[in-house]
Structure 1
Amino acid sequence: MIEFFKKYKAFFIGLIIIPIFYFLDTTKYLNIPRDQPFEVFIITLFWWLVIALPIHHYKYLITKKNVLLKVFAIIAIFFVALVIDSYMKVPDNPITFTLLLVFWLGFAYIIAPKFFTKYWKLITLIYAPLLLYFFYLRLLSGNLDAYLKIKENFPIYIFFIPIPLFFLVWVFEQWKWLQNLKNEKAKTELSLLRTQINPHFFFNTLNNLYALTIKNSKQAPDVILKLSDMMRYTIYEGEKETVKLLDEIEYLNNYIDLHKIRYKKSVEISFNYKDVNLHLTIAPLLYIMLLENSFKHGIDTLSENAFININLYDTNDAIFFVIENNFDPNEINKTKGIGLENLKKRLSLLYNNKHELTIDISNTIYKTTLKINKNA
């Protein structure tokens, strides 16, 4: 919303025309007819745009001399129409009326050329029949008295009705632009968050692999294969909007297996996913952050009897991922990592108001539950 106000602040500045009109009317320098609200609205709209649009397009105008020439040209058309109207003193002068219509359409083209080009067929479809009908009534329906009598049932301001309608369409176009901007911003932020996943894990695993190859360990080929699968999954599957739970589970199992290789102490890790539909889909690389935290702040802080219990299951309306680990309260890492905050941001972007992330800490047990609605 702040970006919207910044982009269109000129139109808020243009609203100064309202207190100006009110002041001029109060001081009797201007007579605002109380019985013609529509005409007052059209005139106010016109002068509002005259003030706001040059301010809004100031940077553009000062760099485009041809645009400035067009602006001066349509202003000249406007004043020519006023001079002709005051000189000829003919009610609803067709010449004046045509010039004013050209002025309005030229004004619309200058301020929003892309919009005008996009909807020129619709504009022509609306204005051409109206203009032809006006000429017919004004020139071919009889004398001036006959026209004025017809005009009572055909108010001339009907020609200006499309102008606020087109303005509303333009506002809608700008609203769509703002929504697209928000979506693009969210996609960019989401892409950035994905790049922050697990870089240290891969470096640590490569170091472990280096140690295994030096020792000619039989585990080395298996580590290479699992690490390769994880890197492929992170790079390719991680860019997808959703993946099957089966693939996500395989990724988590590889992560667990690679960690087990480097531990010489007693570690108990259980991963239960018997009660979940493996064909359900979910955004990739969500659970890995919680699992990584369990290792980093749980098992890595304990010298013995460390455990991680994971339970993945689904109900009629949601998928649950529950992970529980013990930790040493005296070895709490006081530095705030990016993992959990990263996860919260991704969840808000992907499953806003359609997820629940709860954390329970009791003595030496840390338990996290992530619930994601199936209709998200």
Structure 2
Amino acid sequence: MLIFKNLGEMASLEYLYKYDMYFAIFQLTFIALLGYIILSWLFRMWKQYKQLKNDKASAELALLKSKIDPHFFFNTLNNLYGLAIKKSDEAPQVILKLSEIMRYTIYEGENETVLLKDEINYLEQYIEVHKIRYKKTVNITFTKVIEEENISVAPLLFIMLLENAFKHGVESLTNNAYINLELIVKKKTLIFSVENNFEVKENAQTGIGIENLKRRLQLIYPKKHELLIHKDTSVYKTQLTIQLK
């Protein structure tokens, strides 16, 4: 009987050992499964959060693009009306250039990126329309030093700085107005600078163009851009630097 008793105790101990082992395996499996479920849930929440952030950023970008100053279009249409009344030969040129500017703003402006050469052409069209509009002489220079071809950039970034130079610079002066533009691209670094003179006027409104530009740059080129603004009593200069991909 003693032998059977010892054998029974051994069987019980073996049973308890196996039970503890299976229970430990069950616990580990349960913890692993629970951990997987929690991590899966957290991952889904993170993906949803990122998607919401991306959707919000996309919506905000679309809103910022829509806030491009319509001042230019209103004034150009008024000038175009005057040219049409006078039956000026310049009227067809203004209509053609204005339609091209509007087409680019509406359609190309919806893209994430555009070719730099197209953005340059857009700026040049904008400048040409202004030259026709003004009855005064405005000295405008546009220097370009581009070492690489087929460079892509976000659309409608540079126009805000140029708009600012015309609206708050050229239009505030009667004579000797100037705008100097420079675009340099070297080793994946783009530098666009605009310098203009201006005349200080009381109750002058600064507008929202620069603030919109700053926000767009934060969304499109985070930690890959720098916008410097220098202003003295008669000269305003902006310089935008972008590290391209």
Counterpart of 1:262 in structure 2 is 133
The change in CA–CA distance for 1:293 and 1:332 in structure 2 (over 3 A counts) is farther
SS in 2 for 1:223: helix
Q: Give unmatched runs, 5+ long, in structure 2.
A: 1-10
- Cα distance, 1:175–1:326 mapped onto 2, change above 3 Å: same
Whether the 8 Å CA contact 2:146–2:185 is kept in 1: the answer is: yes
TM-score, L = length of structure 1: 0.59
Question: In structure 2, what is the equivalent of residue 160 of structure 1?
Answer: 30
Structure 1 residue 274, shift from structure 2 partner? 4.0
Deviation of 1:207 after TM superposition, in Å, equals 1.5
Q: Which has the larger radius of gyration?
A: 1
2:207 to 333, 337, 340: 337
**Structure 1 residues 277, 213: closer, same or farther in 2, change over 3 A?**
farther
Please tell me whether the aligned partners of residues 276 and 312 of structure 1 are also in contact (alpha carbons under 8 angstroms): no
Structure-2 residue corresponding to 1:232? 103
Q: CA deviation at 1:363?
A: 3.2
Which amino acid in 1 is paired with 2:131?
K
User: Pick from 48, 57, 79: which aligns with 1:208?
Assistant: 79
The answer as to whether partners of 2:145 and 2:185 remain within 8 angstroms in 1 is no
Equivalent pair of 2:146/2:186 in contact (CA under 8 Å): no
- In structure 1, distance between residues paired with 2:147 and 2:230: 23
Alpha-carbon distance in structure 2 between the residues aligned to 1:258 and 1:169: 57
Distance in 1 (CA, whole Å) between partners of 2:149 and 2:76 is 28
Specify which of 161, 178, 199 is matched with residue 328 of structure 1. Answer: 199
**TM-score, with length taken from structure 2:** 0.89
CA shift in 2, pair 1:371/1:302, >3 Å: same
Answer yes or no: is the 8 Å Cα contact 2:189–2:244 preserved in 1: yes
| Structure 1: runs of 5+ lacking an equivalent | 1-142
Higher percent of residues as strand: 2
| Equivalent residue letter for 2:109 | G
Separation of aligned partners in 2, 1:334 and 1:264: 23
Relative distance call for 1:210 and 1:147 in structure 2 (3 A) is farther
> Aligned AA for 2:224?
K
Q: In proportion to residue count, which structure has more helix?
A: 1
What's 1:173 paired with?
44
- Structure 1 residues 240 and 144 mapped into 2: Cα distance closer, same or farther (>3 Å)? farther
Q: How does 1:102-181 map to 2 (within 5 A)?
A: 146-154=14-22, 155=24, 156-161=26-31, 162-181=33-52
Counterpart residue number, 1:251: 122
- Aligned-pair Cα RMSD in Å: 1.7
Matched residues in 2 for 1:273 and 1:346: separation? 24
After superposition, the Cα gap between the structure-2 partners of 1:246 and 1:317, relative to the gap in structure 1 and judged at 3 Å, is closer
Cα separation, 2, equivalents of 1:176 and 1:374:
27
Aligned residues: 232
For residues 255 and 278 of structure 1, do their structure 2 counterparts lie closer, same or farther at Cα, with a shift above 3 Å needed? Answer: farther
How many angstroms does 1:146 deviate by?
4.4
**Larger mean Cα displacement after TM superposition, 307-316 or 205-214:** 205-214
Structure 1 position 279, deviation (Å): 2.2
The residue identity in structure 2 corresponding to 1:204 is N
Q: Which runs of 4+ in 1 moved over 4 A?
A: 143-146
Cα distance in 2, alignment partners of residues 363 and 265 from structure 1: 22
Aligned to 2:224: 354
RCO greater where, 1 or 2, for CA within 8 Å and sep 6 or more?
A: 2
SS of residue in 2 equivalent to 1:152: helix
